[in-house]
Structure 1
Amino acid sequence: MMKDSSKIFSGYKALGFVSNHVPLVLRYINRRKENLAITVIGKSFNTYSCGKLALLSTSSPHPEEIKCITADAYLVFTGCKNIIYSWQRGTELKHVYHGHEKDVHLLMPFGPHLLSVDEDSVLKVWEIKSETLFLELYFNNNTFQITTILHPNTYLNKILLGSEQGSMQLWNIRTCKLIYTFTGWNTPITALEQAPAIDVVGVGLGSGDIIIHNLKYDEVVMKFNQEWGPVTALSFRTDGQPIMASASSLGHIALWDLEQQQLQSQLRGAHQEAVTGMKYFPDEPLLITSSSDNSLKVWIFDLPDGSGRVLRHREGHRAPPTKIQFYGLLAENILSASHDSTLRSFSTIGDNLNKSLGQASFDRKLAKKKGVLHDQRKMPPILDFSAETFREKDWDNIVACHRNLAMVTTWSYGRCTMGQHKLLHKRFKGQKGVVALCVNMSSCGNFVFIGYNTGHVDKFNVQSGIHRESYGKVKAHDASVRGISTDGLNQIVITGGGDRFLKFWKFKGGDLLEEVSLEFGVCELKLHRESAMLAVACDDFTVLVVDIETRRIVRTFHEHFSRITSLAFSSDARWLIVASMDSSIKTWDLPSGTLIDCFLTPTVCTSLTLSQTGEYLATTLADNLGIYLWSNVTLYSHISLWPLPVDYEPQLLDLPSVLIEHNRTQQSSTSDDLHEGLEEDEFVEFKSPEQISKDLVTLSLLPQSRWQNLLNLDIIKERNKPKDPPKAPKAAPFFLPVIQGLEPKLTNLSKDETIKSKTFSWKARPLSPFGLIIQECMKNGNYVSVFLELKRMSPSAIDIEMRSLSPENGGSVELMIGFLRALEEEMKSNKDFELIQSYFGLFLKLHGSIVSSNSDMCKILCELSCEQEKAWQRLQLKLNQTLCLATYIKNAVL
């Protein structure tokens, strides 16, 4: 991806991805005391907390689609084409293993080793830490094509391999010997699972048979058969109940009682497509399943008959979306219609706020009774819809038209269900070939306008579903109506058709006010109600901007080279964003009429919408299940937008991942701190203060009493001064020498000693030990011992030593400069941050006048200020990142 592929938009995150055809992985983390589920979503994988199915992390994108995944207590392993990756904490790439010539399709951790099998049935054993190859085994696909792999419990250094031919082999990977070959059942082995009993495994076959097999005696203990096709997954309960679950390619799950050797219950329609992964929680009556229908479900078995019910689930669209629209003014929800005939709401805040409005059905009550999977009255996909929030609590506030249908359906966002009305004019009853192509709701939420391929335009009341009026004498247009818009005051209705006319109608009464002739037919309309600007996409790939007040074309944009697929205005109507079939998304500046931004997407953008806040651009792509959010960079930083040159070549913009995109170079430490301890049950490497101080600042950990009150020592001494003045001790006779102190003592003089004169000789006061340390450090250039000495002193001693640095107290200017140099060196090390500030403040308080009059010390002060500003900016950046992250997590309600 080029750095400047888009000036305005940057990848934020993707919505709607849960799982695909790769089986899930379940792992238990001792530190969290919780199970984590890992699902693959194309080029990345998600990690969910099974407690609430909250999304914890998303890996970085792989070069290609992930083919297989597994995990142990420390790492997650993924196979992408012929390369294997290992990930720590779900986001940090730890190891890469090269060596396979074909795509890897099976992975299994085996203690300190990793087993991998490619499509040529080449089995390799890797040393995980050293990334070296330990063992390599070759199998012939014609005689033994490996399809499954398992390590039986208590079988030291042994693995069990299942084949496409139906036979099994038990190998000792330490001695590289084949121990035993099981004849098998002449049908592909699709699943292998360890049973709670030793020496017993469950074998799922492509014929639908399930074999409980004893490896020690090579005997079939029991046999079952599911009538739904191949067994896609097996799992055994370990909470004391003798239950085995088997999954099928039709989305059903069977529960088998191993004691009675019979079918206990069924979960029909557990998923709408094949169940690809299934695991019982250790020692719990919970089962987690994943499917290629983009869903993840947790089942609990607490019903009297032993059957299960859905406890928690996460799901998205099963088919690519057809149209999206931001719902509301706060950019918190996105309405999305899909080819699977469902209407969903995706939250930009957190996945737990997503909700489904249901699947479109001709008979909603019958569909609810028989289930979505068995709904034979399912309606075609929604191609266009319109929603208003004004009457959300009163009646249905969403209307939608369907593929090849004249009937228009209503939906309720507040009740999350399909509405009670199906709007169809009586003239179309019994007619074939009539299709509703476009719909639009009035801003008041009371009326809906429907355009048909016959050229008719009808207005219905949303609350009652009653037809109110039609536009035109017979019909509004001579060709199909392809776009409808209404102004914000319910005064004008604008329609555009394939007959090359743009018509303006009176809202009430349906009188034609004016018509504008165009060179080509209308493809799509988009009205910005606040500014009265109407964008018109035409069949010749041009986009017109029409002022609906004056009914004049004010802007024309020709630089599109394929059919227009979607239009969107910015909230202030300064930008018009256009998506076309050539996979480009262009941003036009309306005041200047110039192209200011353009980028390419991997596939065609089928629909786009811009939030009312201008914060997000949401897009959907062809053959893609997700909704991609792009953040508007101009809201957060100053960017100069200039017209793009004529020869500008747009660049491909990488799609955002499921979690928020981070700047890897600046925020890698923040990302590691976020996920540290979330997933891994491993020893966290210790970081010393020296290591931490490279990116942050460290504190001294000294008690606050040692440094916090240095600036207030004079106040403290004044406050602690005794109320009565101290009494002078009784004086000794004048002829006796006395040693002064708290308790005066007489001096014992020898015969040879004489009493010296009491006259004091004014000689230079010697330097204190602290001053001598500063002098020594100035000679060798290492000031570490200065701060070591200060840390040992009490606050009063520090105050005395600071005062003694000045020339009038026995010090010198050189000593003061040396102390400032010591402060500078310690500040560069990013350690003892609070001590430096305290000592620096005391120094300036005591010697501010001397420092200000000395040019050398003023220069050092400037250097100190720069170092302090660098340290604070670095710390402020980390604090801002942490606050933003905490705010996001709080809003997401994980």
Structure 2
Amino acid sequence: MPSKVAKKAVTPVNGKAATTSATPSDVEPNSKRRREQSDSNTDAAQASSSSATASRKAVSQNRLFAPFRALGLISNDVPFALQTRFGGKDATTPDVNVITCLGDSWAMWDAERMTLLFVSTSLPAPISSLVISLSPDAVLAAAGTKVYRFKRGKVDAVYDTVDHLMAQFDKLNGRQADQEDDDSDSDSDSDSDSDSSLSTGLVEAQDGQGTLLSSLIVFGDTIVALSSDGRSVFVWSVASTELIRRIDFPTDFVASSLLHPATYLNKILIGSTDGQLALWNIRTGSLVHAYETDRLRASAAGPHSGISSAAIINLTQSPAVDVVAVGYADGHILLHDIRLDESLFSIHASGGLSSGSVSFRSDGKQHSVAIATNSGNISIFDLEPASGSGPSSANNNGPRLTYSIQEAHDGAVGSIEFVPGQPLLISSGGDNSCKQWFFESASMPPRLLKGRSGHHQPPHLIRYYGEEGKEILSAGRDRSIRSISVVRDSRSHELSQGELQKKSNQLSVAVSSLKLPAASSLSFSLTRSRDWVDVLTTHHGRQFANTWTVRDKRMGKKPLAASADRKIIAEARTACVSACGNFGLIGNSEGLVEVYNMQSYAHRRTFDTRPLDPLGPAKAKEFPAGSRKAQAMLNARVKGSAVTGVATDALNRFVVISTMDGKLSWYDFTSTELLHRMSISTAGISSIQLHRDSNLLLVVSDDLVLRLVDVETRRVVREFVGFRGRILDACFSNDARWIVSTSMDAVIRTFDIPSARLVDAFKVASIATSVTFSPTGDFLATAHVDSVGIYLWANKTQFSPVALQGLDEMAEVVDEEEEAVAVALPTVQGDIEDAALAELSESMLQVGEPELQRVYTSPPQLVDPSREEGGLVTLSTMPRARWMTLINLDTIKLRNKPKAAPQKPEAKRAPFFLPQTVSGVDFKFDPTAPVATEDGEAEAKGERSNIFSSGGISFKAEFQERLEAASEKDDVSGFFLYLETLSTPQLDLEIRSLTSTDDLVAFLTMLLKRLKQHRDFEAVQALLATLLKLHTDSILQTFNPESGKEGEDDAEELEDEDESRADDEEVKRLKGVIRKLIRAQVAESNRLNGLLDHCLGTLAFLRGLPMT
């Protein structure tokens, strides 16, 4: 066997790849990745719906909803990675994190409380392997043809299987060979042959592709990845990201697992699909040793079994150096000493093994090994010999089975691993769960300590729970009812169905067989959720409905029978909880609706939709009139149609019941009397939903039509068509303006109720089985046929305006050959969606045609200001209180004036033991001291010079400068913007400062121009009123200069001729501005009154009220 393995020569890679960081070419855009995934799922999508042969051209244009994030994803079948960090000297226990795979991303969980720390960015391909690198501290993930290094959830570096330098070298050699003559010598031919043989392992690199990777290990500064075909391994340097070597295996050796044995420098142990085991040196690329395959197979199978031919699927290092556990796919595990090439003993676990199904306990208290199987069981074997210490041979004093955890996971266990130094076992599997098992003592079986789990089969029914939209109730094919938290993953939980594990142990049956069947309907009411059960569900094939309480996370005490009459055997089909939360209504397959009290579980009344027996009157004649038998014959009914939906209004006035024969029936809630019955569809009704605030009933029919019924008028008010597959689910928006539906053609459609038009339709990669709208209107949640998660879509109208454009429901469908681009589902992290929403907020929405993509901005004036007739009057954007405060500022100051004057603070006194010669101890300036002048003479206080005397410096404030600049321009908008920045007291002070005639003329001119522009009407009125209140006396005195001069000397009344001429010009200017302002004021007031009269008249006409 060693000779067989050594026949193949190792091909080292010449040249080094210089991929030092993640570039845009390394991490493909997620849109491209999603397109590739949608292309791969095209066949599945077509097979799921025979009628959905193609999609609309406009289907992929998602106008209203943007992908946000995915909920309920915990792990898959890819083995998790365990990260252990030891703290400082005060730390008693290490920090342990669990990294689970979520498909194309991974999640990090805190092992102490199992809370989600963060989620990585999405990769272009699904992740096939996860490992932890210690230098540097990072997470490595193999996805597609590359290995990605993550730092804090972001891609930090990329390791590619393609050696770019070698590919360029080969390409250059190919061009040179084409330029040479065809009759080259044999030496050159041999050289080219050697070059080709040197690059045999890099054929994929020449065409720009790569090699898919399946598993990954890391030790020191070395990364080793195994190709998915098992033909080669790749070796990189962690620090430099260089591709160091590629090792190709012989044709008869297909590798299936890798392991770096402890203390073995530059060595890896490789197992193959046919049971071969070999030790390779990755530094030299040579085979070190090949173990004898037949002996390994015989030792693993044991003396009483045949030779195993299964593949080596798992290699695990034991706490003992040189001892490795070799796991075979058929469930045999062999502990082998790779240094001595001796087998110690073997273990067999029924059910088969996976790649991470063996783990050794290393806390030093007990030497044991845990083995997980594909059947979901975990077995614990004690490695201590039962008695004595026999020879080191296989199956002598072998391990003993101590405990077996049955159905630890619902399905195959993906991987298990003991926490180093702790009696704690962590397991994960393809059932979308991660659990921790604690070993308290050697005599007790391990118990489930904590964990996180989600649906392990796709959910098919989801509904938002609560008024704040923080929880979603989901029912899945895995027979579970779960509450999924939208805001925090740690709050998600499964509603308990009782002590199923105890019953399972007593009956020796699987736990899943004791659970309720998959739910067929779900209803709840929050009114009495704190008092008793608030959720009611029906289940397929079950004659009872079950109650639940979300607050207590459990099922109700008693089930509710689908039929109160024990003679009638009927299946519970649909459920409804009244708005008050006191009654639960159950519709069955016989056409009856039973009403129960949710608190006492007592039966209250029955609504019977079955038709009366037409032969009843004839049968009643056989009995005496008025007898019980005659009355029973008259009330006899025949077999009815199954109930498909039940709804009650907000006040419990009536009950609406839909049946399979396509009829809607209205019953009085109290008397159970039939009020009205109408036929909706001959094809039948599948479900109904009532929006209690608007009394609109949504009817989902089997004829591919959505109908909207007004339950008050009992008429069909809307019909929505265009579906190309069976309608699976539909829901109202929170304000009952939209209807969101999903159908078998994998298209999610949104209909606008007021306009009765289709406003949005987009196709997803997989069929959505259920939809629900958030009570707050910010999210749409969907469940899909091939995913165990719940996906949130953000409502774009919550972030930016969206122009709704009606779409043609019966639009032309693309050809079958044309590939339809599906909208990508949200990711767990939601980083791409956040970037998309940020882009929306920056560049608005690109919706519909180009004329709809322009965002309308209202101009300052809707009508040309130059028009005297037909124009509008525009008010300012400032609040009304600002201008009212400006007008009444004096009154406000007077009201806020303190009743008593402020008291002078008491002077400080010196201590009693110090002589006090003056009053107080503070230094003070003498206001009566003379001021020294330049001539050395002192002037009295009243005779001091003032810097700002009449002969001093004059200046202008900013307000006056802006006022003069605005009065010279036609547009005074800038000055009014400046006025909005001033506070009310500042504006009052600036108006008081207008003392000169020039300032008054400029201010009035500014007001006149604003009036002619028909803008800021109330602001102009407030400013004008304040000006007249403060400067009326000054204006009147300017018009009549003789007033106020009585008693003055004649010499003082004489003025120069030039000065009097200048004063006359100022007065003329002021008078002219005032006259113009009065005319403009009257015109604008008349315009405003006319507009108000027009509006009042129009409103009175529309309301039908008489004019008063």
Pick one of 261, 270, 281 that aligns with 1:161.
270
Pick one of 127, 136, 140 that aligns with 2:237.
127
Answer whether contact 2:826 2:833 (CA < 8 A) is retained: no
Pick one of 30, 35, 56 that aligns with 2:96.
35
Pick one of 96, 101, 113 that aligns with 1:52.
113
Relative to structure 1, the CA distance from residue 502 to residue 661 in structure 2 (aligned partners, 3 Å threshold; closer, same or farther) is: farther
Which residue does the alignment assign to 2:345? 222
Map residues 27-176 of structure 1 onto 2, 5 A cutoff: 27-29=83-85, 34-73=95-134, 74-99=137-162, 103-121=212-230, 122-140=232-250, 143-176=252-285
1:245 maps to 2:370: yes
Pick one of 725, 729, 734 that aligns with 1:566.
729
Give the Å deviation of 1:662.
5.1
Pick one of 558, 566, 579 that aligns with 1:421.
558
What is the alpha-carbon distance in structure 2 between the residues aligned to residue 664 and residue 447 of structure 1? 43
Which residue does the alignment assign to 1:673? none
Answer whether contact 2:60 2:763 (CA < 8 A) is retained: no
What is the alpha-carbon distance in structure 1 between the residues aligned to residue 498 and residue 764 of structure 2? 30
Give the Å deviation of 1:393.
3.2
Which residue does the alignment assign to 1:209? 332
1:387 maps to 2:524: yes
Which one-letter code corresponds to 1:243 in the other structure?
A: S
Which one-letter code corresponds to 1:60 in the other structure?
A: T
Give the Å deviation of 1:428.
7.2
What is the alpha-carbon distance in structure 2 between the residues aligned to residue 249 and residue 237 of structure 1? 21
Pick one of 799, 803, 807 that aligns with 1:636.
799
Which residue does the alignment assign to 2:1072? none
Give the Å deviation of 1:28.
2.5
Runs of 5+ in structure 2 lacking a partner?
1-30, 32-57, 89-93, 163-203, 205-209, 298-307, 386-398, 612-636, 814-819, 839-921, 927-952, 954-1108
What is the alpha-carbon distance in structure 1 between the residues aligned to residue 484 and residue 542 of structure 2? 26
Map residues 585-596 of structure 1 onto 2, 5 A cutoff: 585-596=748-759
Deviations 1:322-376 (Å, cap 9, x if unpaired)?
A: 2111111111111111111111101111111111113589x89735866984464
Which residue does the alignment assign to 1:601? 764
Determine which structure has more spread, i.e. the larger CA radius of gyration: 2
Q: In structure 1, the residue corresponding to 2:127 is in which secondary structure?
A: coil
Q: In structure 1, the residue corresponding to 2:503 is in which secondary structure?
A: helix
Relative to structure 1, the CA distance from residue 370 to residue 657 in structure 2 (aligned partners, 3 Å threshold; closer, same or farther) is: farther
Q: In structure 2, the residue corresponding to 1:421 is in which secondary structure?
A: coil
Q: In structure 1, the residue corresponding to 2:736 is in which secondary structure?
A: coil
What is the alpha-carbon distance in structure 2 between the residues aligned to residue 471 and residue 322 of structure 1? 29
Map residues 254-269 of structure 1 onto 2, 5 A cutoff: 254-260=379-385, 261-269=399-407
Which residue does the alignment assign to 1:531? 694
Answer whether contact 1:106 1:117 (CA < 8 A) is retained: yes
Greater shift in the superposed pair: 634-643 or 365-374: 365-374
Give the Å deviation of 1:222.
3.1
Answer whether contact 1:124 1:133 (CA < 8 A) is retained: yes
Which residue does the alignment assign to 2:81? 25
Which residue does the alignment assign to 1:842? none
Relative to structure 1, the CA distance from residue 246 to residue 366 in structure 2 (aligned partners, 3 Å threshold; closer, same or farther) is: closer
Map residues 363-762 of structure 1 onto 2, 5 A cutoff: 366-367=503-504, 373-374=510-511, 376-425=513-562, 434-472=570-608, 474=610, 478-520=640-682, 521-644=684-807, 652-661=822-831, 723=923
Give the Å deviation of 1:665.
5.7
What is the alpha-carbon distance in structure 2 between the residues aligned to residue 635 and residue 667 of structure 1? 11
Relative to structure 1, the CA distance from residue 209 to residue 652 in structure 2 (aligned partners, 3 Å threshold; closer, same or farther) is: closer
CA RMSD of aligned residues (A): 3.2
Relative to structure 1, the CA distance from residue 465 to residue 725 in structure 2 (aligned partners, 3 Å threshold; closer, same or farther) is: closer
Relative to structure 1, the CA distance from residue 358 to residue 493 in structure 2 (aligned partners, 3 Å threshold; closer, same or farther) is: same
Answer whether contact 2:536 2:584 (CA < 8 A) is retained: yes
What is the alpha-carbon distance in structure 2 between the residues aligned to residue 617 and residue 319 of structure 1? 21
Answer whether contact 1:436 1:451 (CA < 8 A) is retained: yes
Which one-letter code corresponds to 1:34 in the other structure?
A: D
Answer whether contact 2:563 2:588 (CA < 8 A) is retained: no
Q: In structure 2, the residue corresponding to 1:634 is in which secondary structure?
A: helix
Q: In structure 2, the residue corresponding to 1:658 is in which secondary structure?
A: coil
Q: In structure 1, the residue corresponding to 2:490 is in which secondary structure?
A: helix
What is the alpha-carbon distance in structure 1 between the residues aligned to residue 836 and residue 718 of structure 2? 42
Answer whether contact 1:87 1:95 (CA < 8 A) is retained: no
Greater shift in the superposed pair: 100-109 or 306-315: 100-109
What is the alpha-carbon distance in structure 2 between the residues aligned to residue 46 and residue 18 of structure 1? 8
Answer whether contact 1:366 1:375 (CA < 8 A) is retained: no
Relative to structure 1, the CA distance from residue 262 to residue 369 in structure 2 (aligned partners, 3 Å threshold; closer, same or farther) is: closer
Which residue does the alignment assign to 2:874? none
Give the Å deviation of 1:528.
0.2
Which residue does the alignment assign to 2:63? 7
Deviations 1:198-236 (Å, cap 9, x if unpaired)?
A: 111122223333222211111122333334443651112
What is the alpha-carbon distance in structure 2 between the residues aligned to residue 57 and residue 97 of structure 1? 26
What is the alpha-carbon distance in structure 1 between the residues aligned to residue 701 and residue 410 of structure 2? 39
Which residue does the alignment assign to 2:318? 195
Runs of 5+ in structure 1 lacking a partner?
669-721, 727-807, 809-894
Q: In structure 2, the residue corresponding to 1:72 is in which secondary structure?
A: strand
Give the Å deviation of 1:608.
0.9
What is the alpha-carbon distance in structure 2 between the residues aligned to residue 105 and residue 364 of structure 1? 36
Q: In structure 2, the residue corresponding to 1:471 is in which secondary structure?
A: strand
1:271 maps to 2:409: yes
What is the alpha-carbon distance in structure 1 between the residues aligned to residue 923 and residue 673 of structure 2? 99
Give the Å deviation of 1:443.
1.2
Which one-letter code corresponds to 2:724 in the other structure?
A: F
Answer whether contact 1:69 1:76 (CA < 8 A) is retained: yes
Answer whether contact 1:211 1:223 (CA < 8 A) is retained: yes
Deviations 1:493-534 (Å, cap 9, x if unpaired)?
A: 111122221111111222111112224321221110011011
What is the alpha-carbon distance in structure 1 between the residues aligned to residue 521 and residue 264 of structure 2? 59
Answer whether contact 1:120 1:140 (CA < 8 A) is retained: no
TM-score normalised by length of structure 2? 0.57
Greater shift in the superposed pair: 448-457 or 97-106: 97-106
Greater shift in the superposed pair: 526-535 or 558-567: 558-567
What is the alpha-carbon distance in structure 2 between the residues aligned to residue 473 and residue 127 of structure 1? 75
Which one-letter code corresponds to 2:711 in the other structure?
A: I
What is the alpha-carbon distance in structure 2 between the residues aligned to residue 168 and residue 246 of structure 1? 21
Give the Å deviation of 1:20.
0.8
What is the alpha-carbon distance in structure 2 between the residues aligned to residue 150 and residue 19 of structure 1? 23
For these two proteins, the number of residue pairs brought into alignment is 675
TM-score normalised by length of structure 1? 0.70
Answer whether contact 1:576 1:587 (CA < 8 A) is retained: yes
Relative to structure 1, the CA distance from residue 419 to residue 370 in structure 2 (aligned partners, 3 Å threshold; closer, same or farther) is: farther
Which residue does the alignment assign to 2:495? 357
What is the alpha-carbon distance in structure 2 between the residues aligned to residue 553 and residue 421 of structure 1? 39
